[in-house]
Structure 1
Amino acid sequence: MADPATAPFAPGSVSIRIYLHDGLPAPEIVRHELAQAKRAVEVGFDGVMMGEHHGGFPGYIPNTIQTAGWMLNAMPHGWVAPAPVLLPLKPWALIAEEIAWLSAAFPGRVGFGAGTGSWQADFDIMELSKDDYIETYHRSLGLIAKALRGEAEGEFAKDWAIIHCREAPVPLVTASATPRGVRAAAANGAGILFESMTAPERLRELAGKYRDAGGTGPIILIRRVWMGEGTFGRQDKQMGVYRGYGSDTTAQYWQGNQLINGEADEVAERLAEAARDVHADAINLRIQVPGVQPDEMMDQIERLGPMVAKLKAMWPWA
């Protein structure tokens, strides 16, 4: 088993998000994904996350669980978490099986993040109705959470990897930005993955609701960073994409570009302040948006290494 200090989503951990570089041949895209994940843990990141969308949605990965396996095989150490995986798009049992067997293959190095999804094209591509997708998500979340603790029922409970989860549960977080979402996370023993667009005061309120509901898992804050001069134009463009399909419920709390840029000391201090502001106890960093080239991404990973060391030295926030 992995050291608890470096387990997926552990308090004090600093992880990175990996995205696709659009417009390249698929084999080149995969090569860059794996090289970036490998280098990230070599320079000091604890783990890697990636999010799901389909149909060539800019930057996102359609096969997150499969990609997690490729990354784990390429990385000398560190953890990987497909986060979020969009639960309404697949049968819950299939998701649980794939994650449980991946965890069996890479003990202590696999985490899992659940999300609802809201982009209509994802549902169209999968030939699924979007009707009641929120209810589908909540039902699937409960069943997957039980399975990844080794508490599945019926025939499904006979799966060997699910049985193994009794002694080696898979850490679970949810990409939640609503009161109902954080209460569901608490009820299912999951942590929280807070996205990068919602205003800090709203996230702090949701963190309080999560703890009040009995949530004991990690609260992970995603933040956009850039070492040196910022890429504000490219960041603003990506935020516009999200605004084009985000739900009104969550979008009402979004605010302007929260990109953190500068040199190592400044970026570490601002990230620590951001985490304290929302009562987060781990950080997940996003560098890439469409337009960022592979050589820029790798340069940023290299430059972030010293910053990550400075940021970790500031734990715990309390």
Structure 2
Amino acid sequence: MRFGLFLPAGQWPGQSPTDALRRTVALARAAEDAGFDEVWLAEHHFMTYGVCPSATVLAGHLLAATSRIAVGTAVAVLSARHPVALAEEAALLASLAPGRFLLGIGRGGPWRELEVLGTGLERYEEGFPEALDLLRACLDGRDTIAADGRFFRFGEVPFVPRPETPPPVFLAATSPASEELAARRGLPMLLGMHVGDAAKAEAVARYRALGGPAGAGHVATGLAWVGRTREEARATVREELPRWMGPGLAGHVAVDGRPRAQRDAAEYAADLADLHAVGTVEDCAAALERTCAVPDVARVVLLAECAADPSAVLQCVRSLGRDVLPRLRVPVSSRAGAAAG
């Protein structure tokens, strides 16, 4: 099991976008020092929920700013990018940092970037499988690529660079359609933090029923906050998280003006506190052990930015690395033996 830190580059009240990005870089370095295996970066446009408009650009910076930790995208929004351009960037990072770059991609939403960046609503609604297949074709080691589809059509060209080891590709799966696409393509899923372990296990079962491979190595995302008591930790998440989520979630504006129901930030924060690893060291370890038991999950990625105070977040990251993760890295047989003794 590999453990990662999820870094959405959210802009909290009183911060500038530059503050948010510098905090993200500092937390990536802290995660490496604390013993995390990976950090994963989000990509958003035109909103404070996340001020990183290119997860691959920020991934390149963090790969250079660290020495051991892997860096993934959760996600690079394929609907807003040309798949060949995204594949070129992924291949570049995989060539420069072999084994350390992980490419998580997603469909995204019907948001304004589709208009601003010129990819359009039609490609978002109907062209995602074609874009996904073209991106994967670029990364399968072939010398040249060509396309003759509905949304992408061009003659044969060389594909460079070709990394010795292509980056693994993960697909965000937060709907039955994306679960089916991941299963049909044999891709591991990025499972969202908006649901708990039981719902993640149900998604894996559906994936397997649709023909997805056993042992796919899915990614379970969640939230973690360590406090002196369970009540203190949950109170922090419930009170602090809406300060970022409320204004941030309001940034999701549909490109065609379609109405959208915006989830109440306080209600969402309370749900996350109940679903995930929020509490004492012992509470967090027990909750994460349950997540690790979800079938075919090989990675657990945690959002630990649950407060505006950078020092409090840093303390949480260090506690997760020092006090919580070592308990989960002990083999199950060893834990059982220790308990019996």
Category of TM-score, reference length = shorter chain: 0.7 to 0.9
Q: What secondary structure is seen at the aligned counterpart in 2 of 1:141?
A: helix
Aligned partner of 2:206 among 209, 213, 235:
209
The superposition leaves residues 58-89 of structure 1 with CA deviations (integer Å, 9 ceiling, x where unpaired) of 23421210000110111121100112111010
Against the structure 1 CA distance between its residues 276 and 235, is the aligned structure 2 distance closer, same or farther, given a 3 Å change threshold? Answer: farther
1:237 Cα deviation after fit: 6.1
Question: Structure 1 counterpart of 2:7, which letter?
Answer: I
Against the structure 1 CA distance between its residues 140 and 293, is the aligned structure 2 distance closer, same or farther, given a 3 Å change threshold? Answer: farther
Question: Structure 1 counterpart of 2:87, which letter?
Answer: A
The answer for the alignment partner of 1:256 in structure 2 is 271
Question: Normalising to structure 2: TM-score of the pair?
Answer: 0.77
1:36 Cα deviation after fit: 1.1
Question: Structure 2 counterpart of 1:98, which letter?
Answer: E
Q: What secondary structure is seen at the aligned counterpart in 2 of 1:76?
A: coil
Question: Structure 2 counterpart of 1:172, which letter?
Answer: V
The whole-number CA distance in structure 2 between the counterparts of 1:238 and 1:194 is 22
The superposition leaves residues 4-41 of structure 1 with CA deviations (integer Å, 9 ceiling, x where unpaired) of xxxxxxxx000011132525345443332222111101
The whole-number CA distance in structure 1 between the counterparts of 2:320 and 2:22 is 21
Against the structure 1 CA distance between its residues 79 and 268, is the aligned structure 2 distance closer, same or farther, given a 3 Å change threshold? Answer: same
Residue 194 in structure 1 maps to residue 191 in structure 2: yes
Richer in strand (by share): 2
Q: Which runs of 5+ in 2 are unaligned?
A: 147-154, 228-232, 334-341
Instruction: Decide which moves more: 218-227 or 49-58.
Output: 49-58
The whole-number CA distance in structure 1 between the counterparts of 2:331 and 2:208 is 23
Against the structure 1 CA distance between its residues 57 and 141, is the aligned structure 2 distance closer, same or farther, given a 3 Å change threshold? Answer: farther
Identity of aligned residues (%): 22
1:157 Cα deviation after fit: 5.9
Question: Normalising to structure 1: TM-score of the pair?
Answer: 0.82
Against the structure 1 CA distance between its residues 265 and 188, is the aligned structure 2 distance closer, same or farther, given a 3 Å change threshold? Answer: same
Q: What secondary structure is seen at the aligned counterpart in 1 of 2:297?
A: coil
Q: What secondary structure is seen at the aligned counterpart in 2 of 1:160?
A: coil
Aligned partner of 1:185 among 175, 182, 203:
182
The superposition leaves residues 119-166 of structure 1 with CA deviations (integer Å, 9 ceiling, x where unpaired) of 5233244244323414222211111122222246236662232x33xx
Native 8 Å contact 1:55 1:125 kept in 2: no
Native 8 Å contact 1:84 1:114 kept in 2: yes
Q: Which runs of 5+ in 1 are unaligned?
A: 1-11
1:210 Cα deviation after fit: 1.8
Native 8 Å contact 2:9 2:42 kept in 1: no
Against the structure 1 CA distance between its residues 303 and 201, is the aligned structure 2 distance closer, same or farther, given a 3 Å change threshold? Answer: closer
1:271 Cα deviation after fit: 1.1
The whole-number CA distance in structure 1 between the counterparts of 2:241 and 2:128 is 29
1:98 Cα deviation after fit: 0.5
Against the structure 1 CA distance between its residues 77 and 176, is the aligned structure 2 distance closer, same or farther, given a 3 Å change threshold? Answer: same
The whole-number CA distance in structure 1 between the counterparts of 2:251 and 2:96 is 39
RMSD: 3.0
The answer for the alignment partner of 1:232 in structure 2 is 238
The answer for the alignment partner of 1:140 in structure 2 is 131
The answer for the alignment partner of 1:153 in structure 2 is 145
Against the structure 1 CA distance between its residues 32 and 256, is the aligned structure 2 distance closer, same or farther, given a 3 Å change threshold? Answer: closer
Residue 270 in structure 1 maps to residue 287 in structure 2: yes
Question: Structure 1 counterpart of 2:271, which letter?
Answer: G
The whole-number CA distance in structure 1 between the counterparts of 2:25 and 2:212 is 37
The answer for the alignment partner of 2:219 in structure 1 is 220
Q: What secondary structure is seen at the aligned counterpart in 1 of 2:53?
A: coil
Native 8 Å contact 2:222 2:303 kept in 1: yes
Q: What secondary structure is seen at the aligned counterpart in 1 of 2:190?
A: strand
The whole-number CA distance in structure 2 between the counterparts of 1:156 and 1:303 is 52
The superposition leaves residues 171-196 of structure 1 with CA deviations (integer Å, 9 ceiling, x where unpaired) of 11111122331232233342111011
The answer for the alignment partner of 1:84 in structure 2 is 75
The answer for the alignment partner of 1:15 in structure 2 is 4
The answer for the alignment partner of 2:85 in structure 1 is 94
Against the structure 1 CA distance between its residues 214 and 66, is the aligned structure 2 distance closer, same or farther, given a 3 Å change threshold? Answer: same
The whole-number CA distance in structure 2 between the counterparts of 1:39 and 1:226 is 16
The whole-number CA distance in structure 1 between the counterparts of 2:251 and 2:25 is 30
Against the structure 1 CA distance between its residues 295 and 187, is the aligned structure 2 distance closer, same or farther, given a 3 Å change threshold? Answer: same
Q: What secondary structure is seen at the aligned counterpart in 2 of 1:146?
A: helix
Residue 301 in structure 1 maps to residue 317 in structure 2: yes
1:314 Cα deviation after fit: 5.0
